[in-house]
Structure 1
Amino acid sequence: MNSDSPIRSSELVQTDPALGILRLAALSAGPGGRLDDDTLDLMYEQVEAGVLETVAPAAIWPELERGLMSQAPSHMLRALSECGALRVILPEVAAVFGVPQISDDPSQVDIGLHLLRVLDEAAACHAPLPVRYAALVMHVGKADSPKEHLPVHYRHVERGHPRILDLSQRFGVSDDCRELALLALAELERVHRVTPMRAGPIAAMLERVDAFQRPQRFQQLLTLCACDYRAYGNRNFPEYPKAALLQAALEACSGIDATVAGDALQEGRAQAIAAALRSERWSVWAE
Structure 2
Amino acid sequence: MRIYKVGGAVRDRLLGIPVADIDRVVVGATTEEMLAKGFRPVGADFPVFLHPKTGEEYALARTERKSGRGYGGFTFHASPEVTLEEDLIRRDLTINAMAEDDQQNVTDPYHGQRDLEARILRHVSPAFAEDPLRVLRVARFAARYSGLGFTVAAETLDLMRQLSESGELQALTAERSWKEISRALMEDRPQVFIEVLRACGALKVLMPEIDALFGVPQPETHHPEIDTGAHTLSVLEQAAKHEQPLTVRWACLLHDLGKGLTPEDEWPRHIAHEFKGLKLIKAVNERFKAPRDCQELALLVGEFHTHGHRAQELKPSTLLELLQRFDVYRRPQRFEEFIAACEMDARGRKGLEERSYPQADYLRGAANAARSVEVQPLLEKGFKGPELGEAIKRERLKVLKAYKEKA
Using the size of structure 1 for normalisation, the TM-score is 0.86
Q: Give the superposition deviation at 1:144.
A: 2.0
Once superposed, which parts of structure 1, at least 4 consecutive aligned residues long, lie more than 6 Å away? Answer: none
Which residue of the other structure, out of 4, 8, 11, is the alignment partner of 2:124?
11
Which residue of the other structure, out of 163, 186, 189, is the alignment partner of 2:306?
189
Aligned residue number for residue 278 of structure 1: 405
C-alpha distance 254-55 of structure 1, shift in aligned 2 (>3 A): closer
Aligned residue number for residue 268 of structure 1: 395
Structure 1 stretch displaced more, 90-99 or 254-263: 254-263
Once the two structures are superposed, what CA deviation does each residue of 1:107-140 show, in whole Å capped at 9, x if it has no partner? 6721111110111111111111111111112222
Q: Give the superposition deviation at 1:161.
A: 2.0
Whether contact under 8 Å (1:29, 1:72) holds in the other structure is: yes
Q: In proportion to residue count, which structure has more strand?
A: 2
CA distance in 1, matches of 2:141, 2:252: 20
CA distance in 1, matches of 2:341, 2:365: 18
Whether contact under 8 Å (2:121, 2:138) holds in the other structure is: no
CA distance in 2, matches of 1:63, 1:5: 25
CA distance in 1, matches of 2:225, 2:162: 34
Q: Give the superposition deviation at 1:240.
A: 1.8
Aligned residue number for residue 24 of structure 1: 138
Structure 1 stretch displaced more, 175-184 or 164-173: 164-173
Whether contact under 8 Å (1:105, 1:233) holds in the other structure is: no
Aligned residue number for residue 90 of structure 1: 207
The residue identity in structure 1 corresponding to 2:175 is A
C-alpha distance 214-197 of structure 1, shift in aligned 2 (>3 A): closer
Note the residue ranges of structure 1 that are not aligned, 5 or more in a row: 281-287
Aligned-residue RMSD, C-alpha: 2.6
Whether contact under 8 Å (1:12, 1:20) holds in the other structure is: no
Aligned residue number for residue 227 of structure 1: 344
Question: Does residue 1:254 correspond to 2:360, yes or no?
Answer: no
Q: Give the aligned length.
A: 280
1:188 alignment partner, SS class: helix
Larger RCO, structure (CA 8 Å, separation 6 or more): 1
The residue identity in structure 1 corresponding to 2:137 is R
Q: Give the superposition deviation at 1:238.
A: 6.5
CA distance in 1, matches of 2:124, 2:201: 20
Aligned residue number for residue 283 of structure 1: none
Structure 1 stretch displaced more, 174-183 or 104-113: 104-113
Once the two structures are superposed, what CA deviation does each residue of 1:48-69 show, in whole Å capped at 9, x if it has no partner? 3443243333322211111111
Structure 1 stretch displaced more, 251-260 or 183-192: 251-260
Note the residue ranges of structure 2 that are not aligned, 5 or more in a row: 1-94, 96-114, 379-387
